């Protein structure tokens, strides 16, 4: 079940990941399980660092975001309310010969000669009238197409079939044929991506539950509990990191599209624009590019959306993904869900990302930032029958001071938005009208259902982006003219799995070893440290370069004798620090090491 190789760089990355223990195929000893991946020692550290940085940035460093850790299996009604039971499906087509399935929208376009048959019969007079077609590359003999047709009809009970009504035609850029077998694919049909299971001992329809396909819904379902226990007020956010499961039709591109993966999601709840306008006279409009600065009380959904797009880009830049490595996709009105106001996808230019006609690479999705209106909480209010609205004193006080014209204008706008949502969600006209009126009256009393901005990122895609971005090769030639190419993983020190490696120059000199171990113990409480005394210093540097360790420290004789030159001239208790990216070496006091390294990895 090996992943098909997309290009040479991806092949090298996949092989490095296995060789150095970043990523292994799940259940490899049993042949692997398609779409499932395990993280080895270096991968586990890298992943942990990324998740911790996200959590710190999104919750601990802010006053307006709190965390949640919910279960993976939840009440199945949650997935009805969210729309996943009905609509979380990809269109899937099947190859009628190999039974392999593909996502209908992901079939590569092909040009070739298509052979068509109207049916087949066999020596016993059995007939199959089902038409069939096969596409083969131009220049390949028709026999290869007939062989596939024979397989197709044999599967339908026609032994040694004689195919009938053959004709052929050149087809250009067709997406209707299986890329491997050439057989014409079945008609696309929806395939729900949720993994099903049963809760309790009885496997009945009543006990069906789902492995969550996203972490977000638990945040909506627990919105009221979090609000009541955290002393937060809208605008505020709830963040969660955790596993999600999607039975993807065609997992591919290594870990990019997996069936089990992790998400880092924030639901940031904001006031509806009508409430902001009531309190502040108008809603701020910010430029649609660039960071809009510190949050302001008069921000509506557009400013908050722009803010979160830029905050997320800042996060990526802070861990080594420069803006040039990223791309953006702003969803068009046709792509947007009916309830969404805007969605911006942040893309990364992966080695497998496709080029457009001009040779530009847009990239593939790392994270989506969606302005989802009040859809999610409204759905849970309807499905659970529990109120999801909040009471806002500031709005109530401000509303009382508005003139009648403004009250009417805001009320009408809010009413129209609520009515649109209710009708789109299938609520019958009269009930929807009544409900929308109640909602608009509620606004005047300071009540509303919060809107939400959702930055939703995938951990595994980010790890793959960081690995792809870090991958570099250096070729060195020795004195004898022999050159060697080796890999240097240039991770940003913040995410690097190992922050610093400590080497005694020689392993048979107890003074050197003891000092190196003492330095390891000094640094260890604060960062991931690797001690290595095996092989030449050059080999040890090379091993750490491949692991992406940004700093290596060597304890040598000058540590005890004092150096004659350099920054710490003549002093004892100094070491050499070597920087991974430029190979630079410096002499440093041991007493200064911790502060220097902490500054670089923070």
Minimum distance of ligand ATP from residue 353's CB (angstroms): 12
Tokens representing residue 599 in the block: 């500054």
Tokens representing residue 381 in the block: 């209010």
Minimum distance of ligand ATP from residue 96's CB (angstroms): 26
Minimum distance of ligand ATP from residue 255's CB (angstroms): 7
Residue 258 or residue 379: which is nearer to ligand ATP going by CB? 258
Compute CA distances 200 → 85, 207, 212, 243, 463, whole Å: 21, 7, 17, 22, 36
Residue 13 or residue 529: which is nearer to ligand ATP going by CB? 13
Q: How far apart are CA 175 and CA 570, in angstroms?
A: 73
Residue 153 or residue 210: which is nearer to ligand ATP going by CB? 210
Residue 88 or residue 236: which is nearer to ligand ATP going by CB? 88
Exposure of 137 in the CB half-sphere (CA atoms within 13 A): 4
Q: How far apart are CA 269 and CA 280, in angstroms?
A: 18
Name the pairing type of β-strands 37-39 and 23-25.
antiparallel
Residue 292 or residue 455: which is nearer to ligand ATP going by CB? 455
- The residue range among 275-283, 309-317, 450-458, 475-483 that interacts with ligand ATP, by the rule CB under 6 A, is 450-458
Residue 136 or residue 264: which is nearer to ligand ATP going by CB? 264
Torsions phi, psi for 126 (to 5 deg): -75, 140
Name the pairing type of β-strands 500-504 and 551-555.
parallel
Minimum distance of ligand ATP from residue 431's CB (angstroms): 31
Tokens representing residue 46 in the block: 């890298």
Residue 345 or residue 381: which is nearer to ligand ATP going by CB? 345
| Sign of the CA dihedral with 115 first, then 118, 119, and 125 last | negative
Residue 169 or residue 335: which is nearer to ligand ATP going by CB? 335
Q: What residue is closest to ligand ATP based on CB?
A: 458
Name the pairing type of β-strands 585-589 and 574-579.
antiparallel
Q: What is the DSSP string of 71-101?
A: -SB--THHHHHTTHHHH-EEEEEE-TTT--E
Q: Interface residues for ligand ATP in 166-205 (CB under 6 A)? A: none
Residue with tokens 């990216």: 581
Minimum distance of ligand ATP from residue 544's CB (angstroms): 29
Count of residues that interact with ligand ATP, criterion CB under 6 A:
16
Minimum distance of ligand ATP from residue 244's CB (angstroms): 7
- The DSSP call for residue 107 is P
Q: Interface residues for ligand ATP in 19-38 (CB under 6 A)? A: none
454 to 473: interface string for ligand ATP, x by CB under 6 A = --xxx-xx------------
Beta bridge partners, 454, equal 370
Compute CA distances 125 → 119, 129, 132, 151, 162, whole Å: 13, 12, 19, 18, 10
264 contacts: CB under 8 Å, gap ≥ 6: 51, 54, 55, 58, 239, 240, 241, 456, 457, 458, 459
Minimum distance of ligand ATP from residue 326's CB (angstroms): 13
Tokens representing residue 432 in the block: 């929807």
CB 236 within 8 A of CB 268: yes
Closest CA to 301 of 396, 388, 372, 406: 372
Compute CA distances 450 → 175, 317, 374, 389, 460, whole Å: 43, 30, 6, 7, 30
Residue 250 or residue 298: which is nearer to ligand ATP going by CB? 250
The 10 Å Cβ neighbour count of residue 372 is 22
Exposure of 237 in the CB half-sphere (CA atoms within 13 A): 25
Minimum distance of ligand ATP from residue 245's CB (angstroms): 9
Residue 39 or residue 132: which is nearer to ligand ATP going by CB? 39
* Cβ density class 415-440: b for 16+ within 10 Å, e for less: bebbbebbeeeebeeeebbebbeebb
Q: At what angle do helices 393-401 and 273-280 cross, to 10 degrees?
A: 60
Q: Interface residues for ligand ATP in 254-283 (CB under 6 A)? A: 257-258, 261, 263
Minimum distance of ligand ATP from residue 413's CB (angstroms): 29
Residue 39 or residue 177: which is nearer to ligand ATP going by CB? 39
Minimum distance of ligand ATP from residue 77's CB (angstroms): 20
Is residue 43 near ligand ATP by the rule CB under 6 A? no
Residue 364 or residue 545: which is nearer to ligand ATP going by CB? 364
Minimum distance of ligand ATP from residue 256's CB (angstroms): 6
Is residue 246 near ligand ATP by the rule CB under 6 A? yes
Residue 248 or residue 274: which is nearer to ligand ATP going by CB? 248
Minimum distance of ligand ATP from residue 102's CB (angstroms): 15
Minimum distance of ligand ATP from residue 241's CB (angstroms): 12
Residue 310 or residue 394: which is nearer to ligand ATP going by CB? 310
Q: Interface residues for ligand ATP in 206-225 (CB under 6 A)? A: 214
- The residue range among 8-16, 153-161, 451-459, 500-508 that interacts with ligand ATP, by the rule CB under 6 A, is 451-459
- The residue range among 105-113, 228-236, 453-461, 546-554 that interacts with ligand ATP, by the rule CB under 6 A, is 453-461
323 to 362: interface string for ligand ATP, x by CB under 6 A = ----------------------------------------
356 to 395: interface string for ligand ATP, x by CB under 6 A = ---------xxxx---------------------------
Q: Contact positions toward ligand ATP, by CB under 6 A?
A: 214, 246, 248, 257-258, 261, 263, 365-368, 456-458, 460-461
């Amino acid at each position: 079940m090996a992943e098909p190789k997309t290009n040479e760089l991806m092949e090298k990355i996949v092989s490095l990941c296995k060789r150095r223990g970043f990523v292994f195929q799940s259940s490899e000893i049993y042949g692997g399980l398609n779409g499932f991946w395990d993280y080895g020692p270096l991968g586990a550290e890298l992943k942990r660092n990324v998740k911790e940085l996200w959590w710190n940035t999104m919750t601990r460093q802010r006053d307006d975001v709190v965390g949640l850790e919910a279960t993976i299996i939840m009440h199945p009604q949650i997935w009805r309310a969210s729309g996943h039971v009905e609509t979380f499906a990809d269109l899937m087509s099947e190859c009628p010969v190999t039974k392999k399935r593909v996502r209908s929208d992901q079939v590569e376009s092909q040009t070739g000669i298509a052979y068509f048959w109207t049916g087949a019969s066999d020596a016993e007079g059995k007939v199959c009238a089902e038409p069939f077609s096969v596409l083969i590359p131009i220049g390949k003999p028709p026999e290869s197409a007939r062989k596939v047709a024979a397989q197709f009809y044999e599967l339908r009970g026609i032994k040694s079939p004689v195919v009938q009504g053959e004709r052929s035609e050149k087809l250009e850029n067709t997406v209707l044929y299986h890329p491997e077998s050439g057989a014409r694919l079945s008609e696309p049909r929806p395939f729900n991506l949720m993994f099903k299971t049963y809760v309790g001992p009885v496997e009945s329809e009543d006990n069906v539950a789902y492995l969550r396909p996203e972490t977000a819904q638990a945040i909506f379902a627990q919105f009221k509990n979090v609000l009541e226990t955290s002393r937060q007020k809208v605008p505020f956010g709830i963040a969660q990191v955790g596993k999600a499961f999607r039975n993807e039709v065609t997992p591919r591109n290594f870990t990019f599209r997996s069936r089990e993966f992790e998400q880092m999601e924030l639901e940031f709840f904001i006031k509806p624009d009508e409430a902001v306008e009531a309190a502040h006279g108008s809603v701020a409009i910010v430029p649609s590019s660039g960071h809009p600065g510190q949050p302001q009380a008069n921000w509506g959904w557009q400013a908050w959306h722009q803010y979160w797009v830029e905050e997320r880009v800042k996060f990526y830049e802070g861990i080594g993904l420069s803006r040039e490595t990223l791309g953006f996709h702003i969803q068009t009105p046709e792509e947007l869900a009916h309830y969404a106001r805007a969605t911006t996808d942040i893309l990364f230019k992966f080695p497998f990302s496709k080029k457009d006609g001009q040779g530009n690479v847009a990239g593939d999705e790392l994270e989506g930032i969606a302005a989802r209106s009040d859809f999610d909480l409204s759905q849970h209010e309807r499905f659970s029958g529990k109120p999801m609205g909040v009471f806002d004193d500031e709005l109530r006080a401000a509303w009382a001071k508005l003139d009648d014209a403004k009250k009417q204008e805001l009320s009408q706008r809010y009413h129209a938005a609520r009515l649109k949502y209710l009708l789109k969600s299938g609520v019958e006209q009269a009930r929807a009208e009544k409900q929308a009126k109640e909602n608009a009256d509620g606004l005047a009393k300071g009540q509303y259902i919060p809107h939400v901005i959702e930055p939703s990122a995938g951990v595994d895609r980010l790890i793959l982006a960081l690995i792809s971005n870090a991958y570099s090769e250096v070729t060195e030639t020795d004195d004898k003219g022999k050159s060697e190419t080796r890999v240097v993983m240039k991770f940003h020190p913040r995410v690097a799995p190992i922050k610093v490696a400590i080497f005694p120059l020689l392993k048979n000199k107890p003074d050197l070893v003891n000092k190196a171990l003492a330095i390891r113990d000094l640094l260890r409480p604060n960062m991931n440290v690797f001690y290595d005394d095996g092989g030449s210093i050059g080999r040890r540097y090379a091993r750490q370069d491949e692991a992406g360790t940004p700093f290596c420290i060597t304890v040598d004789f000058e540590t005890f004798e004092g150096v004659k030159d350099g920054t710490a001239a003549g002093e004892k208790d100094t070491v050499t620090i070597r920087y991974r990216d430029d190979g630079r070496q410096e002499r440093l006091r041991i007493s200064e090491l911790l502060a220097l390294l902490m500054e670089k990895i923070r």
